[in-house]
Chain A
Amino acid sequence: MTESRRGFLKLAGLSAVAVAGSAAVSAKATRSEGHEPPATTGKRLALVVDLRKFAKDDALFAAVVEACHKAHSVPDFGDDAKNEVKWIWTEPFETAFHSEEFHYIREDLKGKPTLLLCNHCDNPPCTRVCPTQATWKRAEDGVVMMDWHRCIGCRYCVVACPYGSRSFNWKDPRKAANLAGLDPKAFPTRMRGVVEKCTFCDERLARGEEPACVAACPNGEMAFGDLNDPASEVRRLLTEHLAIRRRPGLGTQPEVYYIVEDPRSLMEVAPAAEVFEVEEGGHA
């Protein structure tokens, strides 16, 4: 009897060492998560918003927002800001890019509406804080997904997102006037107590279509595609133009890019000689 007890204790000791060892290995594997450059394998879906093209048509913002919100049965509570639910929306240019601290910006850029949505970050803070994994980053294409079945409404992700891309349903969305009499085949609504946000139209991507916002743009004001594909439209746009992202200093690696100015047009406006003259004058 004593021998079997001794054997049991030996075995127990060995298993404890094995468990601790495997735990250490898995801790090592997860610790580096999020501190690596974006994956270069598989797809990396990204969106490019051409603000120069948007500047030509002020009515397009509303059309794009409407297209998205209609496609996803997003409730509209009018001017009730506390209960606002938004997947895509506009902010004045300086507010959208406040970290850039634009001080003396051109008059035509000042207060100009800028289209904002979930940035589908490469290093999303929202997915890390979710206690139920109701939001996660899809490995195959980088979309930051939502599982509304799983969301328990703790709102950690709303706090974690530095872009304000997440909305909480304080009120039953079905009570919104715009969602009365929805078609039974329409996109499901959410329920009260659930967080929602843009999912890059994962339901449309599954059918091989572009996101609804991109489809609503008549002249390529938005482009959508795979950043890991060197021949893609988004890669071409980012190579040829100067594009900025919202708060890149946070290290979230947002994947929504904004073309603000064409560097070639800048050169046409201000040749090198003129710039030199202005600088000389400034120092005098």
Chain B
Amino acid sequence: MRASHMELLDQWRDTVVRDNQRTYVSKLSGKEFEMSLQKTCGDCHSNKAEFCDACHDYTAVQPYCWTCHLEPQEAP
């Protein structure tokens, strides 16, 4: 996931927006997920500073996910 999450996000984005398919079915467990950065990814990876910024800062990449999508907020 650390190496290729951007590919997954890219695929999910195209599947949802272009093909109107919003549910991802895991090939391993058969579990269903809504393909949503804010609703699904953000539920567990709720700390943007640790899950996103830590590596992005280190590798000096600046993805612009959060100019539109809303950052997850950690439960207080």
Secondary structure type dominating chain B contacts = loop
Within the complex, which residue of B22, B69, B72, B73 is in contact with A188, where a contact is CB–CB below 8 Å?
B69
Check A185/B38 contact, CB under 8 A, given A148-B68, A149-B13, A190-B68: yes
Asked whether A188 lies within 8 Å of B68 as measured between CB atoms, the reply is: yes
Within 8 A of A (CB), among B22-71: 22, 38-39, 42, 64, 67-71
Contact with B along A83-106 (1 / 0, CB 8 A): 000000000000000000000000
Give the total of A residues in contact with B, Cβ under 8 Å: 19
Secondary structure type dominating chain A contacts = loop
Asked whether A188 lies within 8 Å of B64 as measured between CB atoms, the reply is: no
Interface size class for chain B?
A: 10 to 19
Asked whether A147 lies within 8 Å of B17 as measured between CB atoms, the reply is: yes
Say yes or no: is B2 at the interface (Cβ < 8 Å to chain A). no
Check A184/B13 contact, CB under 8 A, given A147-B18, A148-B68, A190-B68: no
With most chain A CB atoms within 10 A of its CB, the pick from B18, B22, B68 is B68
Say yes or no: is B4 at the interface (Cβ < 8 Å to chain A). no
Asked whether A140 lies within 8 Å of B64 as measured between CB atoms, the reply is: no
Asked whether B70 lies within 8 Å of A183 as measured between CB atoms, the reply is: yes
Check A140/B42 contact, CB under 8 A, given A148-B68, A191-B68: no
Residues of B within 8 A of A (CB): 13, 17-18, 20, 22, 38-39, 42, 64, 67-73
